[in-house]
């Protein structure tokens, strides 16, 4: 395996001096190393992968130096537009090095949302005409390969990519980030929400551990999964899935169980909720100030007031809660009011070691929910 420090030092020697991206579990050791060792002006954890490409472009315009843009392969979709219409050699020709975590690599078991994405990852890069190399923990002479890829980046002033297979980087543990251990865990917060909402309420939950925990909480309460839509991929889009349901099903209350990283990824979505203003829409943002599901890298949430933000976007009500009592009383108030409403729940980072994964397939989940909604 490759030591994150060695890889990082090698990038610096290639003249890569700026880092931006959205964290990925497969790259988590490398991302953690960057988080710990690069100052704030040279490392930006972006709202989404397209933003990271744009930041790398801005850095190049301002300095003539090169940036690394890191992402999970599921972020390629977000990055495609600025890669093709900004950085591409046929447009502004902005050199940058992409580092893409290869979830769902063919032949390696992974979750359903990663399988197709994994199968088409290299093909997508080929279709975009982005030169790439595939890296793993046994790649001999990775320095030489990175050197010739960076030569292509520099000589042709274009994006190039390193596709990183699973188990490429050795462990690196991120230095501790302040965390208030008196706060509830995300799973405790989800349990309280599930106990308080109505039997007929529809829940659309965001990607990552939120959906996994919701699934387990429903199992624990023997409630089945027929009123939940577990958004296993599509980070940042849960609120619009929920909005799509809420607008068509005014007799159901629709609750979006979101994460702060996901909200920030496509924050414009909240303006659309505010504009359409469905009274049956409740947005619960679990704010642990991190991308907890993929390694706990910080988000920009410490700078964001979600209550003010929701109000500015046109939500009718917005509250904040942290303790069980506060969550219970905020929910009692919001579930009794006309929406759209937002509840920010502050939680700490982390999850159970033995947290499982949904045992139903995405298609079974879809069918069960649709049976309920179309009945």
Ligand X SMILES: Cc1ncc(C[n+]2csc(CCOP(=O)(O)OP(=O)(O)O)c2C)c(N)n1
| Residues contributing to the site for ligand X (CB under 6 A) | 22-24, 72, 74-75, 78, 186, 206-210, 233, 235, 259-262, 288, 290-294, 299
Min separation Cβ 11 and ligand X, Å: 21
Indicate the residue among 139 and 290 with the shorter CB distance to ligand X. Answer: 290
Min separation Cβ 76 and ligand X, Å: 8
CA gap 231, 243 in Å, rounded:
14
Indicate the residue among 142 and 172 with the shorter CB distance to ligand X. Answer: 172
Min separation Cβ 259 and ligand X, Å: 2
- For residue 226, the number of C-alpha atoms closer than 13 Å in the C-beta half-sphere is 12
Which residue's CB atom is positioned nearest to ligand X? 259
Min separation Cβ 181 and ligand X, Å: 16
Min separation Cβ 61 and ligand X, Å: 25
| Chain centroid offset of residue 312 CA | 24
Min separation Cβ 174 and ligand X, Å: 14
Contact 66, 96 (CB under 8 A): yes
Angle formed at CA 186 by CA 182 and CA 192, multiple of 5 degrees:
95
Indicate the residue among 290 and 365 with the shorter CB distance to ligand X. Answer: 290
Indicate the residue among 280 and 290 with the shorter CB distance to ligand X. Answer: 290
Pairing of strands 96-101, 159-164: parallel
Q: SS3 sequence, the chain?
A: CECHHHHHHHHHHCCEEEEEECCCCCCHHHHHHHHHHCCCCCEEECCCHHHHHHHHHHHHHHHCCEEEEEEEHHHHHHHHHHHHHHHCCCCCCCCEEEEEECCCCCCCCCCHHHHHHHHHHHHHHHHCCCCEEEECCCCCCHHHHHHHHHHHHHHHCCEEEEEECCCCECCCCCCCCCCCCCCCCHHHHHHHHHHHCCCCCEEEECCCHHHHHHHHHHHHCCCCCCCEEECCCCCCCHHHHHHHHHHHCCCCCEEEEEEHHHHHHCCCHHHHHHHHCCCCEEEEEEECCEEHHHCCEECCHHHCCHHHHHHHCCCCEEEEECCHHHHHHHHHHHHCCCCCEEEEEECCCCCCCCCCCCCCCHHHHHHHHHHHHHC
- Of 207, 203, 190, 205, nearest in space to 347 by CA: 190
Min separation Cβ 344 and ligand X, Å: 12
Min separation Cβ 147 and ligand X, Å: 28
Min separation Cβ 25 and ligand X, Å: 7
Indicate the residue among 139 and 231 with the shorter CB distance to ligand X. Answer: 231
Indicate the residue among 35 and 78 with the shorter CB distance to ligand X. Answer: 78
Indicate the residue among 150 and 209 with the shorter CB distance to ligand X. Answer: 209
Min separation Cβ 200 and ligand X, Å: 26
């Amino acid at each position: 395996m490759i030591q994150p420090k060695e890889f990082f030092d090698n990038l610096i020697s290639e003249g890569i001096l700026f880092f931006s991206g959205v964290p990925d579990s497969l790259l988590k050791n490398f991302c953690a190393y960057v988080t710990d060792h690069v100052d704030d002006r040279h490392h930006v954890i972006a709202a989404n992968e397209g933003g990271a490409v744009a930041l790398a472009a801005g850095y190049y315009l301002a300095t003539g130096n090169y940036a690394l843009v890191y992402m999970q392969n599921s972020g390629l979709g977000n990055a495609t537009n600025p890669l093709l219409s900004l950085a591409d050699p046929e447009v502004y020709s902005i050199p940058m090095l992409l580092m893409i975590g290869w979830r769902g690599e063919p032949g390696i078991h992974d979750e359903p949302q990663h399988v197709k994405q994994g199968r088409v990852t290299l093909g997508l890069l080929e279709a975009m005409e982005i030169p790439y190399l595939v890296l793993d923990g046994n790649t001999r002479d990775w320095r030489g390969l990175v050197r010739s890829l960076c030569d292509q980046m520099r000589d042709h002033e274009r994006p190039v990519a390193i596709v990183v297979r699973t188990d490429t980087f050795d462990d690196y543990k991120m230095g501790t980030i302040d965390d208030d251990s008196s706060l509830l865990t995300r799973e405790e917060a989800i349990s309280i929400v599930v106990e308080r909402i109505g039997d007929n309420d529809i829940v659309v939950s965001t990607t990552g551990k939120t959906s996994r925990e919701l699934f387990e909480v429903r199992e624990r309460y023997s409630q089945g999964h027929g009123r939940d839509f577990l958004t296993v991929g599509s980070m940042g889009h849960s609120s619009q899935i929920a909005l799509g349901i809420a607008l068509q099903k005014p007799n159901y209350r629709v609750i979006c169980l979101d994460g702060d990283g996901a909200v920030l990824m496509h924050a414009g979505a909240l303006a659309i909720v505010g504009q359409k203003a469905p009274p049956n829409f409740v947005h619960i943002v679990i704010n642990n100030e991190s991308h907890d599901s993929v390694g706990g890298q910080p988000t920009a949430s410490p700078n964001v007031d979600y209550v003010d933000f929701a109000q500015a976007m046109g939500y009718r009500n917005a509250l904040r809660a942290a303790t069980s009592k506060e969550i219970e009383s905020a929910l009692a108030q919001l579930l009794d009011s006309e929406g759209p409403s937002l509840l920010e729940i502050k939680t700490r980072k982390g999850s159970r070691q033995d947290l499982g994964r949904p045992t139903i397939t995405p298609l079974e989940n879809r069918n069960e929910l649709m049976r309920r909604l179309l009945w």
